[in-house]
Amino acid sequence: METNLQHTFMASAVKILTKYEFNDVINNILEAQEYYSKKNYQETISNSLLALDNTMKYICISKKWIVSLNSGTKLINIICNSKLIPGYMQTQYTSLSNILKINISSLKKSKPLKPSSDIPEYFAVFALQSTIASIIFLMNAFEDSNKY
């Protein structure tokens, strides 16, 4: 399901992340892409979520809204409450983040952990592509907010 569009989005994300030296996030999304190409969908999703969380964390730290914080939900709240994302867009962004945060174990049977082959490819590619789009969105909002 990889497309040229996905690579274009990836290049756009890497470009803006490089500009602000968010190197851990770059590594996270590149690793997610690599895991996806190897059909390791569990790690694809895990690295995608980590990239999104790290993006929000670095934005919050750069804006001096926090020093450190690990919870994605709290980071979303901080970003929304700090008006990085306009009020009329907050519901859509929070909904997208909630989709990405679906518990991976819910995709597996209740028996011992199953291989990534039990996670549908379309779910992994959705997580990866949504993460890349969300990172670009957040970084553009971050960059725009620095103009003022």
Q: How far apart are CA 56 and CA 48, in angstroms?
A: 13
Q: How far apart are CA 66 and CA 143, in angstroms?
A: 18
Tell me which H or E stretch contains 11: helix 4-19
> What architecture (CATH level 2) is domain 13-145?
Up-down Bundle (1.20)
pTM above 0.75, yes or no: yes
Per-residue CA distances from 64 to 3, 5, 13, 78 (Å): 37, 34, 23, 11
Q: What is the pLDDT along the chain (148 residues), one digit of tens a residue?
A: 556 766 787 899 999 999 999 999 999 999 999 999 999 998 998 899 889 889 999 999 999 987 666 566 678 778 878 888 777 777 776 665 565 455 444 444 444 445 666 788 998 888 898 889 889 989 999 998 888 6
3-state secondary structure of 86: coil
- Angle (CA) 2-51-102 rounded to 5° is 80
